[in-house]
Amino acid sequence: MLSHIDENNQPRMVDVGEKSPTQRSARARAVVALPDAVWDALQDGDIQSKKGPVFQTAIVAGTMAAKKTSELIPFCHPIGLDHCHITIEPNDRQELVIECETRVTHKTGVEMEALTGATVAALTVYDMCKALSHDIAIKDVQLVEKRGGKSDYGV
């Protein structure tokens, strides 16, 4: 049964009032495939655009988005994140691998925050590089691992 549907088949926020706060963490990944024009602009670990340093801006945007996940996704509980860390690494397939790691001591998990952070960082790369090419592809957005709560995943 889906946790956000009640016994009358109506949407609802999950009640976490009786749960005890525990340490919870999550890591999500988004992959951004870059066409030649964008890949060729990659130098010294970042891309400099007219809007500024792409990777640094994407890290800030992803972190801001992770902190606002409950405003974007219905029924997500507001969480004051204890930790959010985003990395952007080019790989040998002309892609950027963006990872967002989140951590909190709370009654509910931070998977959606990690997924939102990685996704918005990828969207920011697209936005800042689209003047070079619209052939940028965001793909493979996924939860890589989560710890805490009822079960661990990907550990």
Single out the residue of 153, 128, 132 nearest to residue 143, CA to CA. Answer: 153
CB contact set of 18 (below 8 Å; sequence gap of 6+): none
127 catalytic, yes or no? yes
Q: Determine which one of 46, 127, 135, 140 is catalytic.
A: 127
Single out the residue of 22, 18, 104, 23 nearest to residue 69, CA to CA. Answer: 104
Which residues are tagged catalytic? Answer: 127
